[in-house]
Amino acid sequence: MAELVSGENLIPEHIPGSTIDLVTEFGILWDFIKMPLVVPLLQLAVNICLAMTVMLFIERLYMGVVIILVKLFWKKPEKRYKWEPIREDMEAGNTSFPKVLIQIPMFNEKEVYKISIGAASNLAWPADRLVIQVLDDSTDHNIKDMIEKECERWASKGVNIWYQIRENRGGYKAGALKDGLTHDYVKDCKYVTIFDADFRPEPDFLQRAIPFLEFNPKIALVQARWRFVNSDECLLTRMQEMSLDYHFTVEQEVGSATHAFFGFNGTGGVWRIAAINDAGGWKDRTTVEDMDLAVKSELPSTFKAFRFQQHRWSCGPANLFRKMVLEIIRTKKVTLWKKVYVIYSFFFVRKIIAHMVTFFFFCVVLPITILVPEVEVPAWGAIYIPCIITTLNSVGTPRSFHLLFYWILFENVMSLHRTKATFIGLLDAKRSNEWVVTEKLGDSVKNNRLNSKRNFMPTLKKFKFNFGDRIQFTELGFAAFLFYVGCYDFMYGRNNYFIYIFLQVITFLIIGVGYIGTVVPST
């Protein structure tokens, strides 16, 4: 066995352009540093990964137990909090309805601006008690003109809609939201609802959400769940649905039921404006509550858009953790238990550990241990606990349970980008404040498919292969590394990890050549 795991087996016996002396020298060097240096360092890395795995397992198990108790014994939000429909007062008229501001931040939203403006304008709420504010930071003047004309069209129908632009994009979306609250015509608004440009609220959204705030003064936020209009568009959107459904149906439900911290999702929520002001504006955070509402939105269906979105979602919490952890520790307004919860559970485990352990353990450390069999990885850490965690993660989307194994492989690949973004956020590096708006396709892809079916002779468009957008060299590099490790395990290994590794190679390869998501041709 010693001969099988010697350094000479790590590379082929004959390399073009090399000599047997080079192979021998490499083997001698490997044997010299392996036991005193490589094995202890790798065993330390394994132990750290196992510790992170246990931390994540305990967190997932805790949320699993709580969500079961919530579903079995907790009352629904309408019963847990005071809720009753708001009705028009025969004497006071519409003044019994609080005045609500709808904010729709936009940035070059060519495909979806009509959807969100139309949905907001059709909300069932007294017209004189509703203000719609389109916050347009677009840089394309043609798109700005189209959005402004759409606002004018709804204004001509009696909708109280305002088109607002700024001189610069300072603060990006948060800056636009903050600036929108400074206008005189919103001073008497009690609540503010934020919808991204791809969100499509049902007409009764405010009728269902506002009573929670109106009759419960201590509630600061009503956060709606997201439902996705394009979840069946491609495999990429199905994978995203599985990840996000767990966040909404488990993580946020547990946070609400236990009155713990959880993050505002940036859209699809109704805020009490006084709570925003008390917290110091959009740069700060506060405790919140959620409810069982849903609002339709769009998932990024191109891999490039999804990658940028995941960078922002992973980098942002890590950067916020860096900047606010000392402030959280020092504050006297929060109990010790809630400080521990928000620092350890909310930030450290969910926003940092969850990404790192997936990438380092399953894409780096575990494959390397195949090349160094002196390092032991217990089966409970490599197989059993990860399988339990994965099963717990899948409860949010039971309809996609048959895709669970591919979802694991896909999440392992995406953990590469999330881990990178997490380190950028923790180190406050150059891209930590990068804001790339997620590209939305709206109904354009569906409409193009319908038009192609209607035409017997569809017009052929010249397809331009965008090499920079399609080819991902990092993924291809990991595919090559794991392929070598898989081949080595097939020839010399003991645990048959090559079955999983070759499947992971295929996933890295598929994503590396850009064969995932919706491909939008360029003409």
Neighbour tally for 3: CB within 10 Å: 7
Classify 294 as helix, strand or coil.
Answer: strand
Tokens linked to 158: 């009696």
In angstroms, rounded to a whole number, what is the distance separating the alpha carbons of residues 271 and 220?
6
Interstrand relation of 289-297 and 221-228 (parallel, antiparallel or unpaired): parallel
Q: In 3D, which of 163, 85, 91, 96 has the Cα closest to residue 128?
A: 96
Q: Where are the alpha helices (DSSP H) in 351-443?
A: 354-359, 366-371, 379, 385-393, 404-426
Residue 184 CA to chain centroid, in angstroms? 35
Please give the biggest Cα pair distance in the chain: 98
- Please identify which of the residues 137, 196, 245, 489 carries the catalytic annotation: 137
- The answer to whether 120 and 196 are in contact (CB under 8 A) is no
In angstroms, rounded to a whole number, what is the distance separating the alpha carbons of residues 371 and 494?
11
Whose tokens are 């892809």? That residue is 445
Q: Is 137 a catalytic residue?
A: yes
Interstrand relation of 191-194 and 269-272 (parallel, antiparallel or unpaired): antiparallel
- Please identify which of the residues 136, 198, 290, 489 carries the catalytic annotation: 290
Q: Is 21 a catalytic residue?
A: no
DSSP state of 460: P
Q: In 3D, which of 381, 391, 431, 390 has the Cα closest to residue 412?
A: 390
In angstroms, rounded to a whole number, what is the distance separating the alpha carbons of residues 121 and 117?
6
Please report the beta strands in 191-337, taking only residues with DSSP state E, as ranges in sequence order. 191-194, 221-228, 269-272, 289-297
- The three state secondary structure string of 60-123 is HHHHHHHHHHHHHHCCCHHHHCCCCCCCCECCCEHHHCCCEEEEEEECCCCCCHHHHHHHHHCC
Strands across the sheet containing 100-106: 161-165, 130-136, 100-106, 191-194, 269-272, 221-228, 289-297
In angstroms, rounded to a whole number, what is the distance separating the alpha carbons of residues 138 and 148?
11
In angstroms, rounded to a whole number, what is the distance separating the alpha carbons of residues 517 and 410?
12
Classify 19 as helix, strand or coil.
Answer: coil
- The answer to whether 46 and 369 are in contact (CB under 8 A) is yes
Please report the beta strands in 195-262, taking only residues with DSSP state E, as ranges in sequence order. 221-228
Active-site residue set = 137, 290
